[in-house]
Structure 1
């Protein structure tokens, strides 16, 4: 079947814009304004490792363990430094600057984050939920007397334990759903002097 520019236009439907997004980071230190100050972020990555198993001069590829790369968000500085102070406080409570001690117990160490991809109309089309995250680096802010026409920004890098995703309706699309089905059929009919029974089970998945 021939494909032309009009077919492509119908399937492409304008595409998705990388500047239409929202970011939320939640933790007990309070990060309410991060949604408005996040200049950049990423939809998180997920990688399955590979195990090479030698066999008679060949290498059999076997899936290994899943790992989750660090996640980085670029934040605009606000005039009160409130958001950066919250990140610094979170980091400092995990491990203090002067002494290698933590003020947080295990359950309060972690936070959560959500990256929401928006459509052209501003509605949510996919959400990524980052579970059990904590900052590994609150990045430096570069200062210079000859810097003009720009605002301060910095990066915050998080370690994440896992993530999940949901579609516009909130349905979890990141995990394999158990969609197996099974139907039992029982029937009996009379054929002349004989009574014939059927007892059958069919199943599958979708």
Structure 2
């Protein structure tokens, strides 16, 4: 049998069937809407009680998970240090830069989710004075943790009764820096209020990866 020439090999690799077979081996293409956000509020900071209108801390975390409509996963960036030497520059890796995490929420009628984040801000910095909880002796009261899980489209985890996780990002010592505004419009019908919340954190870790078992902290 004659060997395929380079043109025939190139033609086969640009064939749609070749593309489909490769994608199938990778488990398909990732979907933007298959994700879940799990936010753990700082318990010692939020003491709503189970009889509160919006529920206790756990109930509010469940509501936050339910009403989170979108997430912008931060990119990965390493700063560059330019070391000068006799008129030349030698570039080496510098500080790891963690970009903010942004989540988009639908607003419920009671403003439960939004008020939770506003309470978080109030605890960190009161609106009418400079009183803060983050003292030098106990500066972790306002930190929470958050995990974003991405799911497969066609794989199911029977034990957990949910889609199988492709990958997960866990953010440590997280807190909201910006609670976005809500646009109100008397001429707008059949639209749900939405707002964004931007978070800062100390670091994140990829806690689950289906392409490897790496537990390298990011």
TM-score normalised by structure 2 residue count: 0.74
Higher helix content, 1 or 2: 2
Q: CA RMSD in A?
A: 1.9
8 Å Cα contact 2:68/2:103 also seen in 1: yes
Gaps of 5+ in 2: 1-8, 47-56, 155-162
Alpha-carbon spacing, 1:172–1:80, altered in 2? closer, same or farther (3 Å): farther
One of 59, 62, 72 as aligned partner of 2:102:
72
2:35 to 21, 31, 34: 21
Check the 8 A contact 1:165/1:172 in 2, yes or no: no
Match of 1:106, SS state, is: coil
User: 1:99–1:80: structure 2 CA closer, same or farther, 3 Å change rule?
Assistant: same
In terms of fraction of residues, the more strand-rich structure is 1
Deviations 1:149-195 (A, max 9, x none): 210010111111100012257x863517xxxxxxxxxxxxxxxxxxx
Q: Given the alignment of the two structures, is residue 152 of structure 1 paired with residue 166 of structure 2, yes or no? A: no
Counterpart Cα distance in 1 of 2:130 and 2:23: 53
Q: Using structure 1 for the length normalisation, give the TM-score.
A: 0.78
> Which ranges of 4 or more aligned residues in structure 1 deviate by more than 4 Å?
none
Unaligned runs of 5+ in 1: 177-206
CA distance in 2 between partners of 1:101 and 1:67 (Å): 30
1:107 to 140, 143, 152: 140
